[in-house]
Amino acid sequence: MLHFKRCQLLKQIAQKCLSRIHVKTDKHPQLFLSRTFALAELRKSWHSIYSLVGDKNIILMGPPGAGKTTVGRIIGQKLGCCVIDVDDDILEKTWNMSVSEKLQDVGNEQFLEEEGKAVLNFSASGSVISLTGSNPMHDASMWHLKKNGIIVYLDVPLLDIVSRLKLMKTDRIVGQNSGTSMKDLLKFRRQYYKKWYDTRVFCESGASPEEVANKVLSAVKRYQDVASETFISTRHIWPKDCEQKIPAKFFSEAVIEGLASDGGLFVPEKEFPKLNCGEWKSLVGATYIERAQILLEKCIHPADIPAAKLGEMIETAYGENFTCSKIAPVRHLSGNQFILELFHGPTGSFKDLSLQLMPHLFAHCIPPSCNFMILVATSGDTGSAVLNGFSRLNKNDKQRIAVATFFPEDGVSDFQKAQIIGSQNENGWAVGVKSDFDFCQTSIKRIFQDSDFTGFLAVEYGTVLSSANSINWGRLLPQVVYHASAYLDLVSQGFISFGSPVDVCIPTGNFGNILAAVYAKTMGVPIRKFICASNQNHVLTDFIKTGHYDIRERKLARTFSPAIDILKSSNLERHLHLMANKDGQLMRRLFNQLEEEHHFQIEKILVEKLQQDFVADWCSEGECLAAIHSTYNTSGYILDPHTAIAKVVADRMQDKTCPVIVSSTAHYSKFAPAIMQALKIREINQTSSSQVYLLSSYNALPPPHEALLERTKQQEKMEHQSTS
């Protein structure tokens, strides 16, 4: 039961944290309470400027050999409009000589300048324009073109371009005689293509010009239709014909609001986008950043975040702050088991994979006149990851966004606690709560739904509440990428061929990580079974086996794997909503019953549907430590307790007829006492930092996490707020 007075204490602390942060205050609540209207106006303005109507142009951009001219002609025929090839119809007519002659005559730099001037003197409307490969290297001319058209980037795999150019005349490519290889030249050009495009067409290997042309038209249609990709609450009740439909939310609104006003979670109104087999195969050789850009562009409408801006955010999020250039590498452990290492981010847990990106998405989506207070409940790793992620925003954004993270004072490991406290910064604070994670999470949901308190914040501080837990769609979505990337890595490394199935085994508490894998399958990743691994708090395992979610007689047990010490799994609601064909009325009934009676039972048909894809089991504390010990002895690899739980369950539940990818959700350094106990290292009364340094001397795999080692030098002296 949630005690009202204790919830009030959390609200007072949130208010106190906010008052200590130098936010830009503008006490006009109507600016904040009507943000939906403001965003709608912003979209309307965006639509009027950028949509392809009447006199707008479709502008095809890409490297030499991308097929811009051929595709442009096909589109022109389909639309019955003028087709303009910049090389043939503008440059050569302006210069009265061929492009190759001009390039030979004036050299690379002067050619770019004169090419740009020729384009600046040109204007067209209602046409299809095929650019040269070097047009994007001239800023002024690109701004000129962008004002009256949609720039479509034909993104063709690099090896395909190199192969095509070998069969073509290539004496008119700027820079080709500079001694740089064609491959390096094309790589260099990519930065310019990424800078200018409005929408990308991913041209998989072997795609015909006709197929690419159809993709261009689909991309332009999507770009035009700013209201096509909306979000609803899991508790949304579809109106009857006579009733007025409740307006759906856009991506930006779902990210800003975090939790729906009816207590449900935001989900896409339509199905997840899908990639075809050819598109997936073209991503096999791509980097993590490239994969993230392709996948997330398909999930986020450019009206919410322009594609080029999204690409910048992704490159910033997955850069030098990760200790491994592969971001989320897959390591072969033994037999058919592979470890997906999700701990190479700055705070050493899988939460970094989303929380290094989510703050940038959030900062972009919020209206410029609003301040926001992010409230976060953490069962261990989320707290430090949220504080770290939001601390990396620019100065202006940090003045508009404050963060308060609430953690169970005695329900996280010593290192996790020190890390959360040590991650506090100018716009982020840690608050210890003398209770468990479920209390923290439920309290935050109650605070969100307290109109008196939210109204007070709006009036007094000019501030709106939001969340960065996985209840927030902007936090959950980036997690889809690493599940897809793991599968592609197995293909790239030759362990499987594309299309072969895999199982995934994930230590699960709040159901977000495993739900992201479900969404990856929805996009086309051939995942066969989702193996849910629980610790002694195995409410999810019991539910998957029986369809009965029952916490009436359960008391939360504190374990070696605190990140999954959870009894109320928020994201389960999203999956049940998906399984139940978006039956919002059922979700309201089930989760209201869980709140009031602490249990619910789903129908047999839904249980059977759940069990088609999911299997589950749990692992005791002794089995967890034994798995850490045996794995180290046989392979020299140290599992953290959460990963050890997943391995035990994978060993027990997986039939070994296909590979299983085990999600390693944290670096073992964060749980040094448990690791030392498992490896039978003599217990010494040491600080958490000295324990981490001791383990780092073992020369085990994975290597020590340098960012965590650095953190230990300063964490244990910092103070934090707490409440009982």
CB 56 within 8 A of CB 48: no
How do residues 96-154 score in pLDDT, each as one tens digit?
Answer: 999 989 988 998 899 999 999 999 999 999 999 999 999 999 999 999 999 999 999 99
Rounded to whole angstroms, the Cα distance separating 345 from 318 reads 8
Supply 5's token pair.
Answer: 């007075």
Supply 724's token pair.
Answer: 């009982």
CB 198 within 8 A of CB 152: yes
What three-state secondary structure class fits 29?
A: coil
Pairing label, strands 249-250, 502-507: unpaired
Q: What is the pTM of this model?
A: 0.90
Residue 33: predicted pLDDT = 37
The CB-based long-range contact list for 140-144 (8 Å cut-off, 24+ gap) reads: 140/116, 141/115, 141/116, 141/117, 142/196, 144/119, 144/120
Supply 681's token pair.
Answer: 């290292």
> Active-site residue numbers?
351
Q: What are the C-alpha distances in Å from 56 to residues 47, 214, 344, 597, 637?
A: 12, 18, 45, 58, 58
Q: How confident is the model at residue 276 (pLDDT cuts 50, 70, 90)?
A: very high
Rounded to whole angstroms, the Cα distance separating 457 from 460 reads 5
- Mean pLDDT along residues 545-565: 94
153 vs 458, which has greater pLDDT?
153
Count the Cβ atoms, other than its own, within 10 Å of residue 226: 18
Q: How confident is the model at residue 711 (pLDDT cuts 50, 70, 90)?
A: low
Query: Which among 439, 666, 719, 460 is positioned nearest to 551, based on CA atoms?
Result: 439
CB 378 within 8 A of CB 407: yes
Sequence-distant (6+) residues with CB within 8 A of 510 are 379, 469, 470, 564, 566, 569, 570, 571
Pairing label, strands 548-550, 599-601: antiparallel
DSSP code for 637: B
Query: Which among 430, 434, 428, 431 is positioned nearest to 391, based on CA atoms?
Result: 428
How do residues 74-98 score in pLDDT, each as one tens digit?
Answer: 999 999 999 999 999 999 999 999 9
Backbone φ and ψ for 704, nearest 5 degrees, come out as -55, 150
DSSP code for 125: S
